[in-house]
Amino acid sequence: MRIALVGAGSMGTVIGALLSKAGLDVLMVDANREHVEALNASGATVTGHIELNVPVRAVTPDAWEGQADMVIYLVKTTYDETALPQVLEHMGPDSFLITLQNGVPEEKVASVVGRERTLGGAIGWGAAWLRPGASELTSEPEKMTFDIGELDGSITARLQRTKEILDHCGEATITTNLVGVRWTKLLANVSMSGLGAAIDSTYGGILDDDKATAAALCIILETLLTARALGIRMEPMQGVDPAVMLEVARQGLETAMNVVRMVWGPHRDQVPSMLQDLRKGLPCEVESLNGYLSARSAEAGVPTPVNDRVADIIRAVQDKRMPLSFSNLDSIEVPDLSFYLDR
């Protein structure tokens, strides 16, 4: 099977390295020419919780030739308008694509490449781009999970094959409730990653600060209440059912904060992807993540004040109207838990 990994950034570099190490036919496609040149010259280097260097093949989109049987799509959602038409040019009638992007991107991707060709999935671990040709794995290896599924919830041969492929990079689990998986990952994206981007912090920096942990907890509750109002049944991820957080929160703030610290402790070193972009002065995925939750919560009539404020801070940092600083936490008002639990 000819696999094209499109969007070989922080996570893509790790996935490409592990799939290539397993002997699979993988072509890494990325718009960063310097990164592509480094991958071809020196291989894909992964540091952090694992250490390896693997020879790989990489091209820029303009140099990509031939068709792929399978596309692993990891492009930032901010570049979909350019990248998806390029991908379509290299898909044959029997090709398929799995999007592992952040947010809930399946419908947008399917609108270009076709619903019949589209699978989706959520990544349960993190990585940080270090330099051309190198990424850091910021999660513990045993937490390297994927939850993958067909848009219609069916179990297909291509989905089983995708699991076999991604199992080389951790543990892939097949789901029949992809939208539920997506909303569980969205919960992580908007709470820990969104907040981290707003206050220039790793996950560990959030967990070590009481107000930041409480703010993350509020966004978790806001996501859960929005999903419930929309009729979405969120799925467990890495053995944790997010819905229990509503019951845990009824036991008190300290208990709930301790659970947040327990769940995200193995990912302390994770640098949010939006924060990585903000540090480079690049557009980030705020409208696909925190902005998406704000829009859906407004549709559902659920107030999400902490998430909305985090989204506004990220936009302000991106537009150079606010500094990128942990002190941005001071501008976030954290409601009492009763604000959520009385609903």
pLDDT in tens, 32-73: 999 999 999 999 999 999 999 999 999 999 999 999 999 999
The per-residue pLDDT for range 304-322, each reduced to its tens digit, is 999 999 999 999 999 999 9
Q: What is the mean pLDDT of residues 247-272?
A: 93
- In whole angstroms, give the CA distance from residue 244 to residue 246: 5
- In whole angstroms, give the CA distance from residue 161 to residue 152: 17
Q: Which domains does the chain have, with CATH numbers?
A: 2-176 (3.40.50.720), 180-341 (1.10.1040.10)
Q: What is the mean pLDDT of residues 168-179?
A: 96
Q: Which two tokens stand for residue 225?
A: 């209440």
- In whole angstroms, give the CA distance from residue 210 to residue 29: 41
pLDDT value of residue 178: 96
- In whole angstroms, give the CA distance from residue 4 to residue 25: 8
- In whole angstroms, give the CA distance from residue 200 to residue 61: 32
Residue with tokens 């270009």: 112
CB 121 within 8 A of CB 158: no
- In whole angstroms, give the CA distance from residue 157 to residue 164: 11
Quick one: pLDDT band at residue 236, thresholds 50, 70, 90?
confident
- In whole angstroms, give the CA distance from residue 135 to residue 112: 30
> In this structure, which amino acid lies at residue 228?
R
The yes-or-no verdict on residue 168 having pLDDT over 80 is yes
CB 1 within 8 A of CB 24: yes
The yes-or-no verdict on residue 243 having pLDDT over 90 is no
pLDDT value of residue 342: 83
> In this structure, which amino acid lies at residue 47?
T
Q: What is the mean pLDDT of residues 203-227?
A: 98
CB 286 within 8 A of CB 311: yes
Q: Which helix (H) or strand (E) holds 314?
A: helix 305-318
Residues in contact with 51: Cβ distance below 8 Å, sequence separation at least 6, in sequence order: none
The yes-or-no verdict on residue 92 having pLDDT over 80 is yes
The yes-or-no verdict on residue 108 having pLDDT over 90 is yes
pLDDT value of residue 239: 76
Mean confidence (pLDDT) of the chain: 96
Nearest to 217 by CA among 50, 87, 68, 339: 339
Residue with tokens 């270090």: 130
CB 291 within 8 A of CB 285: no
